[in-house]
Amino acid sequence: MAREAKTKKSSKLIALSASNKAYEFKKPLEKQIKYQGKMVDIKLHEDPNGFSYIVWKNKKYLLDVIEKNQNRYTVMINGVWYSFTVETPISLKRRRYLEEKGEVSSMVSIEAPMPGKIIDILVEEGAEVKEGEPIIILEAMKMQNEITSHVTGIVKSVSVKKNDSVMKDDVMIEIQKG
């Protein structure tokens, strides 16, 4: 009990980037953040029906949460998106522990970026793929689009066939990062 009480008061949150970089913030999140050892002003202007932006070192950065699923976030800032998982010190510790034991999935799904029809599948289960390698040809918007892998690894499963129709975000292929 004593321990749990301590957790609740825990005054930190950590945003973990896709490349495993940890950004630590003190709770409650206020008007300054630690930057290169110093506290620096950060001004957030929020407008749910308009544009939200941050003023940082006298520059405006337009930003928006474009995807949110529990603690997983994708934030667009000045037109570039970044993905994070937001962790508490405890959940981060658990995550690191599981990672060490290899229990955190390193499986990456390749999802259909838009509704369309599968014209061709260029890889088979067990095939090695490199980042940027075309793996599926999807016809959508009257174009045959090469869908490329955004990771390097091994194809674990292919869940579509030639001529299948797919909806946006349907999982087409799963790749084990490696």
Positions touching other proteins (CB under 8 A) are 13-15, 17, 21, 23, 25, 27-29, 33, 35, 42, 44, 49-51, 54, 56-57, 61-66, 68, 71, 73, 75-82, 84, 86, 113-116, 119-120, 132, 137, 139-148, 150, 168
Q: Helix %, strand %, coil % for the chain, to 5?
A: 10, 50, 35
CA-CA-CA-CA torsion sign (94, 100, 104, 110): positive
Q: How far is the CB of 11 from other proteins (least distance, A)?
A: 11
Kindly state the smallest distance separating residue 48's Cβ from other proteins, in Å: 8
Q: How far is the CB of 76 from other proteins (least distance, A)?
A: 7
Q: How far apart (Å, rounded) are the C-alpha atoms in residues 112 and 167?
A: 7
For other proteins, which is the closer residue by CB, 13 or 155? Answer: 13
Pick 46 or 99: Cβ nearer other proteins: 46
Closer CB to other proteins, residue 101 or residue 142? 142
Residue 114 has which token pair?
A: 């838009």
Q: Which one, 59 or 101, has the nearer CB to other proteins? A: 59
Q: Residue 93: beta bridge partners?
A: none
CB 98 within 8 A of CB 91: no
The least distance separating other proteins from the CB of residue 126, rounded to whole angstroms, comes to 21
Q: Which residues touch 9 (CB under 8 Å, ≥6 apart)?
A: none
Q: How far apart are CA 29 and CA 9, in angstroms?
A: 14
By beta-carbon proximity to other proteins, the closer residue of 100 and 171 is 171
CB of 74 to other proteins, least distance (A): 8
Measured at the CA of 50, the angle between CA 44 and CA 56, to 5 degrees, comes to 25
